[in-house]
């Protein structure tokens, strides 16, 4: 549209008469975000299964929540990149930033297992 002004790959300012509206578009396609979130939720639901692995892999760790979070995010980023690869696309820096926001919102759920 001719009244749109691109700020970045995920933000536009739409001018309509005397008003301007900032529109933020998610950088990650909805289906990829859904796959990533399903993977994270599945791994969180199976957290008790991963505890023995984490205790062996991180024997000196005082914070098992960090180890589990790292394991889950590592798995989720693999799913994230594979979803782009299946579409023959490359994630951008903004896509990775959005991925980090998705992963971070599950951090508290993992911490709750250890309180």
CA dihedral 41, 91, 26, 3 (to 10 degrees): -170
Rounded to whole angstroms, how far apart are CA atoms 44 and 12? 35
pLDDT digits (tens, 9 = 90+) for 58-91: 788 888 888 889 989 999 999 999 999 999 998 9
Rounded to whole angstroms, how far apart are CA atoms 68 and 47? 7
Q: What is the CA radius of gyration of the chain?
A: 18
Rounded to whole angstroms, how far apart are CA atoms 24 and 37? 20
pLDDT reading at 32 higher than 70: yes
Residue with the two structure tokens 């984490």:
54
Rounded to whole angstroms, how far apart are CA atoms 65 and 81? 24
Rounded to whole angstroms, how far apart are CA atoms 31 and 38? 11
In this prediction, residue 15 carries a pLDDT of 58
What's the pTM?
A: 0.70
């Amino acid at each position: 549209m001719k009244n749109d002004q691109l700020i970045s790959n995920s933000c536009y300012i739409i001018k309509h008469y005397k008003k301007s509206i900032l529109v933020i578009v998610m950088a990650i396609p909805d289906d990829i975000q859904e796959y990533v979130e399903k993977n994270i939720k599945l791994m969180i639901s199976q957290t008790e299964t991963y505890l023995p692995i984490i205790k062996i892999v991180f024997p000196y760790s005082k914070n098992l929540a960090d180890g589990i979070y790292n394991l889950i995010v590592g798995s989720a980023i693999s799913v994230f990149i594979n979803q782009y690869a299946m579409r023959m696309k490359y994630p951008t820096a903004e896509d990775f930033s959005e991925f980090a926001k998705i992963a971070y919102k599950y951090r508290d759920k993992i911490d709750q297992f250890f309180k």
